[in-house]
Structure 1
Amino acid sequence: MSLEELGEQLRKQHRLHVQGSDVPAPAATFDELSGRLGVRTQIVDNLRAAGYFEPTPVQMQAVPVMLERRELLACAPTGSGKTAAYLVPVLQHLREPRNAGCRALILAPSRELARQIALEASRLATGTGLRVRCLDKAKRAADGTPRPVSQKYDLLVSTPNRLIYLLDAEPPLVSLRTVEWLVVDESDKLFEAGERGFREQLGRIYSACDSAQVRRALFSATFAHDVDQWCRLNLDNVVTVSVGQKNTASDVVEQELVFVGSESGKLYAFRNIMQKGLTTPCIIFVQTKERAKELFRELIYDGVMVDVIHADRTQLQRDNVVKAFRAGRVWVLICTELMGRGIDFKGVNLVINYDMPPSTTSYIHRIGRTGRAGRPGKAVSFFATKDVPNMRQIAHLVKNSGCEVPDYLLQVPRKSKKDRRELAVHPIRRETIDTTPKYDRDRIARIKALKKAQDKQKPSSTENGGQGGGVVTVKQKKKGKKLKGSVKVGMKKSKIEVEQHEDHQIQMRCLQFMWNSADYKWYANHNQSAVIMEA
């Protein structure tokens, strides 16, 4: 049997669909990678050390295509090894380190995913001497100005926004003229237009990679027609590879749709799962960062090791939460769409869609956080009465995966394309997640209203340099050059420490707040009156 016939048999066996001219035969084993395709033994050994025993279907076909320097569009289910599918040929092409600037660039939609890709690239590059860097923040010189990205790195991983910031600096802090491979991970997300996508940034980066030798590869778990059309128009002799049926969930994920009635029923449904035995680690997806904070406040007292990650948290906080979840110190992770793409948490047993995603694409990526690398997993999705009109496509997707779906969801009228786009931009408005009794909520609201009214009644003055603050008399006790005392404005009281400066101004430093943690700047003059300005 010829190599081409063996290749066709292998494609049918693994449901590999390819389009393009003269597509190379897939590689069924790692021995074939190092033998017939000439991949360095060190890289293959690193693959085995990373936990791969044989190439996954997407790796079987994508690696030979990229080794021939063919441009590629690949679509494969979540957790199917797409990262290694493009890293192996890229590292093989780079071969050895050079101080000639970045020769391979990988783009990802979030910093967490970019760091994960850089870590995986460093593991597979072990022993090759190739240098990998994630552009998570600009290094700064002693005077505080950003430093240019070093020319010693062979492979860079970045988000589009970070790269645009470096390219827009005067002079530019990074050069992409030497890039020979441009890889776009989660390409359907990066090609989205508007505030939620990165299409404009991606176009500028594409133009900046102006080397005559540059080749491009795009990977995603979901198929987008606009990406496919763009590739056919702009890529040279492109090869399209897809695994299984397009835009479907992983076969190893058990999916369940749970009707909860109203929004308040979701918390009861989750606590019911906890009573039956919550299989951790677990990821819970909610619609907005506000709802993530609300759900965290509810669950933190339930005796579950829970934490939350969203866009309002600092990068250090997000990194610490991810580390704690990976290490098992956090059992339940509450997150928004931020963590819905690409992030690989080993051994996640359960994904809960606390709020239904706005599209099937989002649904596929969310539940793809479990059932990775062939391990079984479960995904439970809560839906309320207001979600039912938008459930048709997701219900059919679950049905096609072999899971049970109520018949009435399959008969919901089909939404128009315009309505689906509108839902993605303006999701369903949901009630606050809060089990506090109404009496207590009203009492808290009255206290906040009273506090706001008192804040508005603060005296305002610009005397002694104060702007928009209040002037009060301060009882002071001299102690060398420093003065100590206390100050009270409205219901805010603080211990203070003041220090006299050469210009006869006395700077007052807040030591302790006794009402709230709002930030103020405190000043005093030699007449012992304090000027208070909001920071």
Structure 2
Amino acid sequence: MDAYDIFKKISKGAKFKTKQRPIIKPLENDITIKSEPIEIQHTVLTHTTCSDSNNISTILEDQKNDFVLLNSFAEAGKIISGKKRKKDIEQQLSSMDETKQKKMREEKANRYRNENSISVVGRHVPEPIKSFQELSSSVDSVLLANLAKCGYTEPTPIQKQAIPAMLEDRQILACAPTGSGKTVAFLLPLLQHLQGPQSSGFRALIICPTRELAKQIQQECIRLSDGRNLKIHILSKINKAITQYDPKKSNGKYDILVTTPNRLCFLLNQDPPAINLNSVEWLIIDEADKLFEESVRSFRNQLQQILKACCLHKRRVAMFSATCTPIVSKWCVHNMKGLIRVTVGLRNAVTDTVEQELKFVGNEEGKLLAIRDLIRRGVNPPVLVFVQSKERAQQLFTELIYDGINVDAIHSDRTQLQRDNTIRSFREGKIWILICTELIARGVDFKGINLIVNYDFPPSSISYVHRIGRAGRAGRRGKAITFFTVDDTVNLRNIAHILQQSGQQVPEFMLRIKKRSKKERKRLLTSALKRDDITTTPVYELMKRRRWKRRTDKTIQRENNVNQNGYINKM
């Protein structure tokens, strides 16, 4: 009989016959045992009569031992069964408690996100942090100390959600207003991931649209990584980079590379490639929507080339921007596994720390009068003035330089050294008014910008958001004035809605302007409006100069058409 058969019989219960049997008188020298029947293993013990007392005592002893054994098995079965049921109940209760606690944590996290205007889309999104001290168990103490030294005491909404997500190796698409601390949101977890031993080649790659923004990110990264012995580089001179980062000629002991996409792709197109990206663990793309704009050099093609070079299997991608377009969202959904989308506030909205104003100036001559009147009444520097082209930036600089104010211009025609000196002088307060193009409109952080002047109307609502975002950063207050003429009504309705969303007063006629077609607004992005030159020279003098210029150009063209025999071709 095995244990299974014993428990099977025990589960049925022992059967006892209560009907009393007649007593049989024993014979002489015989011993009669009176016993009630017990059913054990299909055997019922009844009256037993035996002449051998030793045999009877042996039988009784065996039966007694069997009965005790069965009772002990029964008690053990009851104990085991009770413990098992108790354990199952405890497991069910614990699982119910864990589910309930998890649901309560999620509800609490969602309430906290709503309080901070954070919206997330994704599966298994980590809980947001409330303070940097909560990261003490997952972030190196040196990094937290550097945060405090740099003046970061409390995390901003984008930092509260993006930092824990990236610390768990999650790919992310983050959209937050300008000046909300997106740079720290991706640099802190990036530096934490790179605390391991160095390997051959770069381990992190940060791509941004302009060299000014790349240099700013590099400087911030150096400040946060103080004491970590990390090598942070920026691509500046191509000829130097070809020899410096060549895998065959250099030791390749680098950590972070900050660059623009064109320079990086130039190195990758060398035969063989002049840079090694096989060890890249993180690819960070700052101002992603600007890079995804349609142009002659499509960044999407460049990005595919960069991703192909970053062939490490555990590579992660993170995109950050103040505005987000459908093109960027669609690409991220199709190419980033386990994506988390984080949005702070309203998408493509201006921060509420900037006071905005739309000012009608009539025509191009009215703009120059308006800005001179603004300067005459007094402005509190530093001031940024945005124009639509580098030619107009130089023209406005020529007009304002003689008004007795410290003014300068920055655009792509100036050398990198000139641009760096101009930005440094502007940060130091030596320049009060800086005239610039879209080159400075994204990502560049100037402390304490008090006034933004959109001399030329922005070509799109996204451009307007980024221009205005140079002021009102890190909670500071600022003001923005946008000049517009009759020709600028294409995007006036969209920008008026942005002002309304920010709580600004907007005239009703701006909101009732007929909505322009998508084709017309798209054409404005590729080809800017043709505007008159910024000058105070009289019209007749301008016409005289134009006639003289056409006559000179015609003479040069005639001279270029002289054939080899010395004859002039007829025009």
Same fold (TM > 0.5): yes
SS of alignment partner, residue 285 of structure 2:
strand
Question: 2:471·2:479 contact (CA, 8 Å) conserved in 1?
Answer: yes
* 3-state SS of paired residue (1:346): coil
Shift of 1:455: 6.2
Unaligned segments of structure 2, at least 5 residues: 1-100, 567-571
Preserved contact between residue 199 and residue 279 of structure 2 (Cα < 8 Å): no
- 1:14 matched to 2:142: no
* Greater alpha carbon shift after TM alignment, 40-49 vs 346-355: 40-49
Matched, 1:230 2:328: no
How many angstroms does 1:462 deviate by? Answer: 13
Larger Cα-atom Rg: 2
Distance 1:359 1:459 in 2: 43
Distance 2:371 2:393 in 1: 14
**Residue in structure 1 matched with residue 190 of structure 2 by the alignment:** 90
The superposition leaves residues 391-436 of structure 1 with CA deviations (integer Å, 9 ceiling, x where unpaired) of 1110111111111222111101112222221111122211111111
Matches within 5 A, 1:9-408: 9-35=111-137, 38-96=138-196, 98-140=198-240, 148=246, 150=250, 151-195=252-296, 198-408=299-509
Structure 1, unmatched stretches of 5+, are: 469-535
Counterpart for residue 538 of structure 2:
437
The percentage of aligned residue pairs carrying the same residue is 50
Task: Kindly provide the CA deviation profile for residues 323-348 of structure 1, in whole angstroms up to 9, marking residues without a partner as x.
Answer: 11111111111111111110111111
Whether the aligned pair in 1 keeps the contact of 2:490 and 2:521 (CA below 8 Å) is no
AA at the equivalent of 1:317: Q
- 1:106-138 CA-to-partner distances (Å, cap 9, x unmatched) read 000111111111111111111111110111223
Aligned-partner Cα distance in 2 for 1:252–1:197: 35
Instruction: Give the 3-state SS of the residue equivalent to 2:529 in structure 1.
Output: coil
* Cα offsets for 1:248-276 (capped at 9, x unmatched): 00110110000001111011111111122
1:2-52 deviations in Å (ceiling 9; x for gaps): 6444422321111100111111111111111223xx111111121122221
1:440-451 correspondence runs (5 A) = 440-445=541-546, 448=549
Query: Do the aligned residues in 1 keep the contact of 2:246 with 2:276 (CA within 8 Å)?
Result: no
The answer to whether the Cα contact below 8 Å between 2:392 and 2:533 also exists between their aligned partners in 1 is yes
| 1:471-515 deviation digits (Å, cap 9, x = unpaired) | xxxxxxxxxxxxxxxxxxxxxxxxxxxxxxxxxxxxxxxxxxxxx
What residue in structure 2 maps to residue 529 of structure 1? none
The 8 Å contact of residues 232 and 256 in structure 2, kept in 1 or not, is answered as yes
CA distance in 2, matches of 1:197, 1:372: 31
Instruction: Give the Cα–Cα distance (whole angstroms) in 2 for the partners of residues 117 and 139 of structure 1.
Output: 22
Pair 1:396–1:462, CA change in 2 (3 A): closer
Q: Is the 8 A contact 1:139 1:147 kept in 2?
A: no
Q: Deviations over 1:178-216 (max 9, x none)?
A: 100001101111122323752221221122211101001
- Give the deviation of 1:233 after TM superposition: 1.4
Instruction: Provide the secondary structure at the position in 2 that maps to 1:249.
Output: coil
Shift of 1:316: 1.2
Aligned-pair distance for 1:292? Answer: 0.8
Displacement of 1:139: 4.8
> How many residues are treated as equivalent by the alignment?
460
Is contact 2:129–2:161 with CA below 8 Å preserved after alignment? yes
Whichever residue aligns with residue 156 of structure 1, its letter is: L
Secondary structure in 1 matching 2:514: coil
User: Hey, what does 1:514 align to over in structure 2?
Assistant: none
Q: Secondary structure at the match of 1:18?
A: strand
Please report the RMSD computed on the Cα atoms of aligned residues, expressed in angstroms. 2.4
More helix by share: 2
Query: Which structure is higher in strand share?
Result: 1
Q: State the Cα deviation string for residues 131-153 of structure 1 (Å, max 9, x = none).
A: 10111223539xx9776275121
Judging changes above 3 Å, is the alpha-carbon distance between structure 1 residues 3 and 292 closer, same or farther for their aligned structure 2 residues? same
Q: Is the 8 A contact 1:392 1:412 kept in 2?
A: yes
Q: Is the 8 A contact 2:395 2:533 kept in 1?
A: yes
Task: Note if contact 1:27-1:61 (Cα within 8 Å) is conserved in structure 2.
Answer: yes
Determine helix, strand or coil for the equivalent of 1:241. strand
Which residue identity lines up with residue 217 of structure 2 in the other structure?
Answer: I
Q: Contact 2:384/2:434 (CA < 8 Å) preserved in 1?
A: yes
**Which contiguous aligned blocks of 4+ residues in structure 1 show a shift greater than 6 angstroms?**
453-463
Q: How far has the Cα of 1:172 moved from its partner?
A: 1.0
Counterpart CA distance in 2 for 1:418 and 1:203 is: 28
Does the aligned pair in 1 maintain the 2:453–2:481 contact within 8 Å?
yes
